[in-house]
Structure 1
Amino acid sequence: MDNLISLVNKIQRACTALGDHGEASALPTLWDSLPAIAVVGGQSSGKSSVLESIVGKDFLPRGSGIVTRRPLVLQLHKSDEGSREYAEFLHLQRKRFTDFAAVRKEIQDETDRETGRTKQISSVPIHLSIYSPNVVNLTLIDLPGLTKVAVEGQPESIVQDIENMVRSYIEKPNCIILAISPANQDLATSDAIKISREVDPTGERTLGVLTKIDLMDKGTDAVDVTCFVHDLDAKTFKSLVLDALGVIMF
């Protein structure tokens, strides 16, 4: 399976370099045929915390409003024990980032290069590879957070634009949906669960992750089978993902 994941990683990199990144198209593309893991959630749902807990590094932009404004294709590569951790961007080949604060800044800067210093979104992905002995070979796609209202500087269509972008990834039958929901909100109104059920009514392709356990109301309990972000190490996460991959690939 590791060899298969490595092959998919290489094909995804080639697709991105050639401009094939899953945009809506009248014709099927190679990207559409590849298995994918899409991270879906509302704004401030804890998506960044989930990804950073899997990587073990703080490297994603934070803030209020729509922080993730372009899809981030995050490829994790397990390196030899004792080797130095570093990151590479597809748009900056041969430049290695060992300072993960600089990775965060480059994500912000590259987003601005595509969208301008506005609050607009773009479907053109940023491709980031992280090499570390503490990760597992895996690729995830972080998508803009679902929202219900436009803020100042955004068109009224931004709500539907984001939903359309998210759907373009997760409606594909070969996509695993990582549905992020904060524990301090009513799960019945979770944006991630709602849209996941619409495109995957049987739940075969959906993995639910509950975040912000520490903010739950006093006297409430989390269900035992829920994946707690703080207890979800990379190895356990990969095991769950491989089980789901078995559903969509075999």
Structure 2
Amino acid sequence: MKLKMDHQLFDRLRSDEDQRKLVDKLREIGLDQYVELPQIAVMGDTSSGKSSLLSAISGVSFPSADQLTTRCPTQLILTNADTFRGNVRLVRFQVDNESSTGENLFDTGEDKEALTCLDDVPGAITKLTKKLVDEGQYISDDQIVVEMSGPELPNLTLTDLPGLVRTVGDHENENIIPRVRNMVNRYMSQERTIIIAVVPANVDMHNTEILQAAQEADPNGTRTIAVVTKVDLVDAGAEQAVHDLLLNKKKKMHLGYHAVKCRSQRELTKGTTIEKGISNEIAFFGKHEYWRRLPTELWGVLELSGRLVTILQDNIRRSLPKVISEINARLAVAQKEVSRIARQELKLLLQYESRPYTQDQRLYEELDKLRQRALRSRLEEALPPANAHGLVSLTDVARTLGGVSVGQFTLSSVDREALEMEIALQAYLEVASHRFVDVVPMKLNGMILCSFFREMESEFLSITTDKKVGELLQESDGEAARRQHLFDRINTLEKAKCVIESSVPMPAPFY
């Protein structure tokens, strides 16, 4: 049954939070490997202050100056609730050429760890990150998923990507640089991904690699928001330029800019808490000569969290009908492809059935019939009319002999009868011998060939055990993998339909 998403059905998703939870469920079953899902991805250089920003938003102290800093994508699923609850798990990645995004994330359920409080999160993330490093993965496409609900958390889902790097250490692999860039590009290129480009204010922001990459992926700036960090480190005299940039006066973007001041490395070393860092941020912007003139909705972590929630809601509301349409379309294509492959395999089997070595018996039988018909015709032309036993009529022979002159001799009746019998026997033997010479080899030939075919059939049947039949019917590894990909895709798409249908409450009956 085709899944419909009209306005009435869409309106029955009672709130924006219902829609976000629906998208998270669809991502959990792996739909994003076939259909792009709306999401927010956080990107920036390694020294942009990205980890401190995420810590302020989520309340989790992420590793920021440790050798085990972000090595793989980290997805944060945050939900506002009365009590804290959460878990951390590892989702493995594999390349899938059949998928729309070229990727395939699957939850193996390994290393899933329950969380009792926010303080448990850093240790759990470090443990999983260390596991990837121990496996030799300096940069991994595997994904750490942190799912938390609590009273201080926003209703927000976002993915943190490893920071872009330009140089590596003495004992690090140089392949890290292109691998991180390719990973960032893969997320950026997805049309339903909101790009959070984190850039420090104390550098030439327009020439940062992350903003240049974002401009390539989103040339119109419709899905990019630039978060400017480290505004406390802006050089004297450069404040006005940064101020104008934040007001979207210079390089305009649809989602604009936002300024934050997160905990510095010195504050982290001193043990400044996240709550204290946010308090210091509010005091800083309220007193600064330039930053206090900014509209309050353009600065601060708390305001940024609210903006991101709204941006994600708008993105989901805009994308969800298209997602459902793609589910229907891709499911129909996959089912059609499975049917086409089945017909193709059947056609191939029928072609094998029509090959010469399967037609030899039938061909021999047809040729033998034609040969026997030709021989019978020749014999009938050569022989005088015969009775049902193939014998020559003696009356016809006597009539023929009656016209034969025997010269001047006059035979007695006894001699004449003996002569007639001798002539008849000679004629009969001559015809019978010819018939014997023609028929006997033909019959022997048929008997020998039929015996040969029976022996061949017996030998063939003796080798068609279950194992042999399985080998004959086994398809190639490539075709088997392709068929399995199609079945996996159909299974995931059908699961997605069930998730959507179960998430949409049915209207109350009308009496």
Instruction: State TM-score, norm by structure 1.
Output: 0.84
Whether the aligned pair in 2 keeps the contact of 1:119 and 1:153 (CA below 8 Å) is no
Provide, for residues 86-125 of structure 1, a one-character-per-residue CA deviation record: whole Å limited to 9, x for no partner: 431135546223142x311221110121231867110000
Alignment of 1:1-250 (within 5 A): 1-15=16-30, 29-30=33-34, 32-55=35-58, 57-63=59-65, 67-80=69-82, 83=83, 85-90=84-89, 91-93=110-112, 95-100=114-119, 102-116=120-134, 120-221=138-239, 222-223=242-243, 224-225=246-247, 226-230=257-261, 231-233=300-302, 234-245=305-316
Kindly tell me: are residues 183 and 249 of structure 1, through their superposed partners in 2, closer, same or farther at Cα, counting changes over 3 Å? farther
Q: Return the letter of the residue paired with 2:115.
A: R
Whether the aligned pair in 1 keeps the contact of 2:197 and 2:226 (CA below 8 Å) is yes
CA distance in 2, matches of 1:156, 1:70: 16
CA distance in 2, matches of 1:246, 1:4: 8
Q: Which sits farther off after the overlay, 227-236 or 133-142?
A: 227-236
Q: Which sits farther off after the overlay, 219-228 or 66-75?
A: 219-228
CA distance in 2, matches of 1:111, 1:158: 15
Kindly tell me: are residues 94 and 180 of structure 1, through their superposed partners in 2, closer, same or farther at Cα, counting changes over 3 Å? closer
Whether the aligned pair in 1 keeps the contact of 2:75 and 2:145 (CA below 8 Å) is yes
Q: Return the letter of the residue paired with 2:309.
A: K
CA distance in 2, matches of 1:166, 1:151: 21
CA distance in 1, matches of 2:319, 2:220: 13
CA distance in 1, matches of 2:79, 2:135: 32
Larger radius of gyration: 2
Kindly tell me: are residues 86 and 46 of structure 1, through their superposed partners in 2, closer, same or farther at Cα, counting changes over 3 Å? farther
Provide, for residues 158-212 of structure 1, a one-character-per-residue CA deviation record: whole Å limited to 9, x for no partner: 1101101111111111111000000011112212101101111111111110001
**Overall identity of the aligned pairs, in %:** 29
CA distance in 2, matches of 1:229, 1:94: 32
Number of aligned positions between the proteins: 233
Q: Which sits farther off after the overlay, 88-97 or 164-173?
A: 88-97
Provide, for residues 17-65 of structure 1, a one-character-per-residue CA deviation record: whole Å limited to 9, x for no partner: xxx8x7xxxxxx23x521111100001201112212222x242112166
Helix, strand or coil for the counterpart of 2:114? coil
Q: Return the letter of the residue paired with 1:70.
A: C
Residue matched to 1:26: none
CA distance in 2, matches of 1:127, 1:117: 19
Whether the aligned pair in 1 keeps the contact of 2:68 and 2:126 (CA below 8 Å) is no
CA distance in 2, matches of 1:247, 1:180: 24
Segments of structure 1 that go 5 or more residues without pairing to the other structure are 23-28
Kindly indicate which of the two structures has a greater share of residues assigned to strand. Answer: 1
Whether the aligned pair in 1 keeps the contact of 2:71 and 2:129 (CA below 8 Å) is yes
Q: Return the letter of the residue paired with 2:51.
A: S
Helix, strand or coil for the counterpart of 1:48? helix
Q: Which sits farther off after the overlay, 154-163 or 87-96?
A: 87-96
CA distance in 2, matches of 1:46, 1:137: 23
Helix, strand or coil for the counterpart of 1:110? helix
Kindly indicate which of the two structures has a greater share of residues assigned to helix. Answer: 2
Q: CA RMSD in A?
A: 2.4
Whether the aligned pair in 1 keeps the contact of 2:196 and 2:226 (CA below 8 Å) is yes
Helix, strand or coil for the counterpart of 2:29? helix
**Which structure's relative contact order is higher, taking Cα pairs within 8 Å and 6+ residues apart?**
1
**Deviation at 1:249?**
5.6
Whether the aligned pair in 2 keeps the contact of 1:71 and 1:142 (CA below 8 Å) is yes
Instruction: State TM-score, norm by structure 2.
Output: 0.43
**Deviation at 1:9?**
1.3
Whether the aligned pair in 1 keeps the contact of 2:76 and 2:158 (CA below 8 Å) is yes
Q: Return the letter of the residue paired with 1:120.
A: Y
Kindly tell me: are residues 210 and 246 of structure 1, through their superposed partners in 2, closer, same or farther at Cα, counting changes over 3 Å? farther
CA distance in 2, matches of 1:38, 1:240: 12
CA distance in 2, matches of 1:246, 1:201: 23
Kindly tell me: are residues 120 and 108 of structure 1, through their superposed partners in 2, closer, same or farther at Cα, counting changes over 3 Å? same
CA distance in 2, matches of 1:196, 1:125: 22
**Deviation at 1:227?**
0.6
Helix, strand or coil for the counterpart of 1:161? helix
**Deviation at 1:153?**
2.2
Helix, strand or coil for the counterpart of 1:95? strand
CA distance in 1, matches of 2:171, 2:29: 34
Q: Return the letter of the residue paired with 2:69.
A: V
CA distance in 2, matches of 1:119, 1:215: 34
**Deviation at 1:240?**
3.7
